Amino acid sequence: MTSMKNTVKQKYHKSLFTKACAILLIVSIPVQAQQSDESFYQRFSPIELTGNWVSVITEDWHIRMISPPKGNFDGLPLSTRAQEAANAVDLEQLVRDGQACQAYGAARLLREPGRLRISWEDSDTLRIDTDAGEQTRLLHFDNIPAPGASSLQGLSIAEWQYAGGFDPVRTVLNPGQIGGRRLSRGSSLEMMGGKLYVETNNLSPSMLRKNGVPLSADTELKEYFNTLREPDGTEWLIVTTIVRDPLNLLVNHITSTNFQREPDNSKWNPTLCTLF
């Protein structure tokens, strides 16, 4: 929790520096580039996440495609407290009480079979919509809002992490150049690669599995978003998720979830939260 608070503080300080960099960018880049609608974080994104993605269930099919029975804790490093709570919960009563979305919190949301629609909410915020459960996550690069009340999707802070020693600040001060080579979006920058790193906290209690496995309000989430392209052009999004809950997990729970890019949103199919 302390590290997350420090991250928030650092991000607030970084926002001032980012704005200064943005001014330099406007002054330095050619007029044609200035006419672009891309923000600082869009311009310097090492991977392209926006668009439509569908989950491809390559592991844990029996507990992702089908709601697992009560007491199925396979693969989960649960504390005794968590096991007892999961066995005691009345899932049908939760549904009657309108609490089925507890299984669609940030720590589990991307494990639910379905589709993602990723877009820029604004110049500082990447938005992820899911058709399963009709949930929305906002990943803040800058201008981070105050935490406010806890929620199923919490407060997410994002940053690009670059490969190949790329430094966007150096690029701002020396626009168009990386190691003596001309920088062009979609070629040099993406060829070097990188990933999106996200930290999430301020989460309300939720479920790690649809059979009642609990996550507490102390849960913290780390995620790494990576992409790859096959020779035939097929694009993949791989999300590695690290869930930490000192009350319910004996060690961090780590998963890797795969998505394939779709050409459009014609298969988008919003469905309500469900436990069964």
User: Is residue 270 in a domain?
Assistant: no
- Stretch 81-93: mean pLDDT, rounded? 97
Surface-to-core class of residue 222, CB atoms within 10 Å of its CB (0-12 exposed, 13-18 middle, 19+ buried) = middle
User: Is residue 130 in a domain?
Assistant: yes
Q: 175 or 41: whose pLDDT is higher?
A: 41
**Number of folded domains in the chain?**
1
Binning pLDDT at 50, 70 and 90, where does residue 263 land?
very high
Mean pLDDT of the chain: 85
Q: Tokens 């935490």, residue? A: 147
User: Is residue 272 in a domain?
Assistant: no
Separation CA 130–CA 137 (nearest Å) = 9
The number of beta carbons lying within 10 Å of the beta carbon of residue 108 is 24
Q: Given a cut of 80, is residue 30 above it in pLDDT?
A: no
Binning pLDDT at 50, 70 and 90, where does residue 173 land?
low
Separation CA 178–CA 165 (nearest Å) = 10
- Helical spans, DSSP H, in 29-131: 31-34, 40-43, 61-64, 80-88, 91-96
Binning pLDDT at 50, 70 and 90, where does residue 172 land?
low
User: Is residue 14 in a domain?
Assistant: yes
Binning pLDDT at 50, 70 and 90, where does residue 231 land?
very high
Q: Domain span at residue 67?
A: 2-262
pLDDT in tens, 95-117: 999 999 999 999 999 999 999 99
User: Is residue 20 in a domain?
Assistant: yes
Binning pLDDT at 50, 70 and 90, where does residue 78 land?
very high
- Stretch 215-238: mean pLDDT, rounded? 98
- Stretch 240-257: mean pLDDT, rounded? 98
Q: Given a cut of 60, is residue 31 above it in pLDDT?
A: no
Question: What are the percentages of helix, strand and coil residues in the chain, rounded to 5?
Answer: 25, 30, 40
pLDDT in tens, 180-199: 444 545 445 555 689 999 99
Q: Which of 139, 153, 156, 160 is nearest to 48 (CA)?
A: 160
- Lowest pLDDT segment from 145-149, 175-179, 272-276: 175-179
CA torsion through residues 69, 71, 73, 74, sign: negative
Q: Tokens 């806890």, residue? A: 150
Separation CA 214–CA 248 (nearest Å) = 7
User: Is residue 115 in a domain?
Assistant: yes
- Lowest pLDDT segment from 34-38, 154-158, 229-233: 34-38
Hey, what are 136's tokens? 């929305």
> Which 3-state string (H, E, C) describes 156-221?
EEEEEEECCCCCHHHHHHCCCEECCEECCCCCHHHHHCEEEEEEEECECCEEEECCCEEECCCCEE
Separation CA 79–CA 87 (nearest Å) = 13
DSSP 128: E
pLDDT in tens, 39-73: 889 989 999 999 999 999 988 999 999 999 999 99
- pLDDT (0 to 100) of residue 52: 98
- pLDDT (0 to 100) of residue 38: 79
Length of the chain, in residues: 276
- Using DSSP's 3-state secondary structure scheme, residue 30 falls into coil
- 269 dihedral zone (left: phi>0; alpha: psi -120 to 50; beta): beta
Hey, what are 84's tokens? 């007892």
User: Is residue 222 in a domain?
Assistant: yes
Separation CA 267–CA 116 (nearest Å) = 11
Q: Given a cut of 90, is residue 3 above it in pLDDT?
A: no
Query: What's the CA dihedral at 125, 271, 51, 205 to 10 degrees?
Result: 30
